[in-house]
Chains A and B, each alone.
Chain A
Amino acid sequence: MTLIEAENAIIEEFSIYEEWLDKYEYLIELGKALTDYPEESKTDDKLIKGCQSRVWLDYKIEEGKIVFNADSDAIITKGIISLLIGLYSGRTAQEILSSDFSVVEKIGLKENLSPTRANGLVSMIAKIREIAMAN
């Protein structure tokens, strides 16, 4: 699946949730399922400075593709992280940079991107772009 196809798939998946409660429940499930981030990698250099929740983002390069791994101490943020990783991990830098990252807004999580609330999330997207640009 291309990145655009993957983004559209998520947008479509979220469109079936009309109630915010269902959306959050889905994100909480996604968040709970994201468990591979090693404790020892929760170091300050991997920490993305956010407002309230802490987010750690790590990556490695495998066969020219960027593989991300991330974690957060807040479960809803972690759910969103899981979405982002699902989209952008295992892709080339060029593919990642072709995205406008508007998917978070399009799935109705725009309020999570408001300046007060989601410095962490905004910073995380910025960091993904930064890593892609450096590789």
Chain B
Amino acid sequence: MLNLQAYCVYTRVYVSMLTVSEIRNLFPALSRKVYGKDLVYLDNAATSQRPQMVLDKWLEISAYSNANIHRAVHRLADEATQAYEQARDSVREYLNAAEREEIVFTSGTTAAINLVAFSFGEAFINEGDEVIVTEAEHHSNIVPWQLMCQRKKAVLKVLPVDENGYLMVEKMDDLLTSRTKILAVTHISNVLGIINPIEDIISKCHSKGVPVLVDGAQGIVHCSVDVQKLDCDFYVFSGHKLYAATGTGVLYGKRRWLDAMPPYMGGGEMVGNVSFAETTYAPLPLKFEAGTQNFASVATFIPALELSKRLSNKELENYNNEVRDFVLNALLSDSRIKLYGVPRGTNEDKIALFSFTVQGVHHEDLALILDKMGVAVRSGQMCAEPLMDRMGVTGMLRASFAPYNTMQEAEYFIKCLNKAITMLE
């Protein structure tokens, strides 16, 4: 049985100025052991760990303010609704969206892209129209568009990457035609860790009147995003990679698009009036939030974004960059290792996410041995099979760092990796 009183008191004493070790103390999972070894969690691109204040928020709503939102007039319903809508304000502020109505909550990045692909498709795509995605996308930013194109008899076109994993932006001029209706691009590939030049892509598209969806699943964690400055038409991301609870996601969309798009799902509070003859829909954003929402988890955006804001300070960024540069140099200087997404020129457009293969050694074997050493990394295709094909591999090993990962962990990872390779060679 959890002592809620103690939890709530603890919640209020979080420090404002954070060092790496103080940040780590906020995350219960980071102090645990696996197989008797200190956990070194380097699978942050898949999901980040949760800080105590996020767990507390979820518990607070679930324990004390559990009531279905947007409908009943009683006190609990009011508290739950307030928390949910406050989360919308937090997200609006975080993204600098013009209006809170432009923030739609979904179950995650995948759900948000599916929503746009379906509803935008219904409103704007006709037979023979064209949709552009890139070769660097994960499946969630490919398959929803494929499904829509099949349904609408539209054509899916692909912007390629070069052998380093950089998008070949110069090929856009050939791809963009008078039939292009939308382009979907990832802010940062979950395999390559390269920050894509989305500003250029957006302005190129806009000059031809083509709207752009940016998949920010990784981007939101590593870049500060101002959707008005970016001028993107849609920006989507998941909460669980940004310290919030799982099962949460955000769709930002410019009002003029969202207004023109029909609902994706029906039911719950997404309606104006319902009769068997005709149903009218609720105004934004509820039009796109059918059914009972995941309100306790959505409320965790409030503490999660607050923490994220505190993490974006120069001192911590410098430290994180040192960690990135150390791992990057260690991997690049090892002739047995082939790194994908090697930065050209400065490291500024590279995040601390490293996907690589090792000559003659299978990624699964490496991941199994690293796991036993306490190091959690990802192995496999990373939900990006077309990119694996492009790079000519069946899978890779990926180590993805968060701001809470230390230089000691980076050094330990490199040491363990060397040992694992020696065992397997």
Contacts and interface: CB of A to CB of B under 8 A. Distances in A.
User: Is this pair of chains taken from one and the same complex?
Assistant: yes
Interface of A: 20-21, 24-25, 28, 51-54, 73-77, 112, 117
Contacts of A112: 368
Contacts of A53: 362, 364
B362 A74 contact: yes
Given A20-B35, A54-B394, A28 B423 contact: yes
Contact of A51 (B361, B365, B380): B380
Interface in B24-51: 35
Given A20-B372, A21-B372, A24-B372, A75 B365 contact: yes
A76 B364 CA distance: 8
A93 B335 CA distance: 48
Interface in B374-394: 379-381, 394
Interface residues of B, number: 17
B20 interface: no
B369 interface: yes
B380 A73 contact: no
16 contacts: A20-B372, A24-B369, A24-B423, A25-B423, A28-B365, A28-B423, A51-B380, A52-B363, A73-B362, A74-B364, A74-B365, A75-B362, A75-B424, A76-B364, A77-B364, A112-B368
B424 A28 contact: yes
B372 A52 contact: no
Contacts of B381: 52
Given A74-B362, A74-B364, A75-B362, A52 B395 contact: yes
Contacts, number: 39
Nearest to A74: B362
Interface of B: 35, 361-365, 367-369, 372, 379-381, 394-395, 423-424
Contacts of B424: 28, 75
The residue in B361, B364, B395, B423 that gathers the most chain A C-beta atoms within 10 A of its C-beta is B364
Nearest to A76: B365
B70 to A, nearest CB: 36
Contacts of A77: 364-365
A5 B395 CA distance: 38
A105 to B, nearest CB: 16
Given A24-B423, A73-B362, A75-B424, 13 more contacts: A21-B372, A24-B372, A28-B365, A28-B423, A28-B424, A52-B363, A53-B364, A73-B394, A74-B364, A75-B361, A75-B365, A77-B365, A112-B368
The residue in A25, A74, A77 that gathers the most chain B C-beta atoms within 10 A of its C-beta is A74
A76 B368 contact: yes
A20 B381 CA distance: 26
A52 B381 CA distance: 8
A117 to B, nearest CB: 8
Nearest to A32: B424
A8 B193 CA distance: 48
Given A20-B35, A20-B372, A24-B369, A52 B364 contact: yes
Given A74-B364, A76-B365, A52 B423 contact: no
A74 B379 CA distance: 12
Q: Which 8 A-B pairs have the closest CB atoms?
A: A74-B362, A52-B364, A74-B364, A52-B380, A53-B364, A20-B372, A76-B365, A74-B365
Contacts of B369: 24, 76
B35 to A, nearest CB: 7
A73 B362 CA distance: 7
A73 B395 CA distance: 11
A52 B35 contact: no
Contacts of A51: 380
